[in-house]
Amino acid sequence: MFYIVATPIGNLGDCTQRAIEVLKSVDLIACEDTRHTKILLAHYGIKTPTTSFFQHNRFTKGDYLVGLLKEGKDIALVSDAGTPGILDPGYNLINLAIKNGLEMTFIPGPAAFVNALVLSGKPCHEFYFAGFLPNRTGARKNQLEKLKQLGCTLVFYESCHRILASLEDINTVFGDKEITVARELTKKFEEVLRASSKNIQEKLAQSKPRGEFVIVI
């Protein structure tokens, strides 16, 4: 069996009992970063062997893992945090397993964009998750202009290095609109800001922005 296992996005206490049981029982855990995953495994006393599965080895390692599954091994796939397949190379392994007709199941759990969307108070019945915005200002504004036409709640991820620039472009495209910016969700320094993009930009600019951000428009 191939298990796709969601893991905590910050607070280790968010790991489900079912996820713990699966991670203990499988023959191998495929991790985006074994060092990162071993922190979680140590917390729950899980001693299952791990192997790396990340962006640069996803093709060669994917064939290897599929081979093990065909031999009858049970394998769990985890990402560094949250749900595998969402903006990480786990998608490639999931797709490869499907093409090979392998049996699989999903152990549900956290996803940062869902946390932020719910905390924002914005309509959740129709939304568009756009992942990361483009790095460059011109491309980012073009993308925002296109997404603006959707007329539903928009959700993005952003890094601490680009959050101020992205908020500037959001203010340009959407005007003085109330948005939500969440960072470090479920962690000690969790913060959820609900204000105009300009006001949030000014607040974050007062100190060097840190952490991983989710923007909800």
Which of 107, 130, 160 marks a domain boundary? 107
55 pLDDT more than 80 = no
CA nearest to 129, candidates 111, 141, 145: 111
User: Tell me, what CATH number does 149's domain have?
Assistant: 3.30.950.10
Distance between CA atoms of residues 41 and 8, nearest Å: 12
- 188 with 128, same domain? yes
- Domain span at 152: 112-216
194 pairs with which residues across the strands?
180
- 131 with 102, same domain? no
- Rounded (10°) angle between helices 197-205 and 163-174: 160
Predicted pLDDT at 59: 77
- 96 with 148, same domain? no
Predicted pLDDT at 206: 94
- 100 with 153, same domain? no
Question: pTM of whole model > 0.75?
Answer: yes
Q: Is beta strand 104-107 parallel, antiparallel or unpaired with respect to 153-158? A: unpaired
Could you read off the pLDDT of 99-115 as tens digits, one per residue? 999 999 999 999 999 99
- 103 with 191, same domain? no
Q: What is the pLDDT averaged over residues 71-77? A: 98
| Distance in Å from the first CA to the final CA of the chain | 39
Which of 70, 87, 107 marks a domain boundary? 107
SS3 13: helix
Query: What is the number of domains present in the chain?
Result: 2
Q: What is the pLDDT averaged over residues 165-189? A: 96
- 99 with 187, same domain? no
Residue 7 CB coordination number (10 Å): 27
- 201 with 126, same domain? yes
Could you read off the pLDDT of 119-157 as tens digits, one per residue? 999 999 999 999 999 999 999 999 999 999 999 999 999
- 175 with 203, same domain? yes
Q: Please give the share of the chain, as a percent, with pLDDT higher than 90.
A: 92
Which of 88, 107, 126 marks a domain boundary? 107
Return the higher-pLDDT residue of 54 and 109. Answer: 109
Query: What number of CA atoms fall less than 13 Å from residue 188's CA on the CB side?
Result: 1
- Integer-rounded Cα Rg, in Å, for the chain is 19
- 100 with 125, same domain? no
- 40 with 80, same domain? yes
Predicted pLDDT at 93: 94
> Band of the pLDDT at 193, cuts 50, 70, 90?
very high
Predicted pLDDT at 118: 98
- 28 with 49, same domain? yes
SS3 77: strand
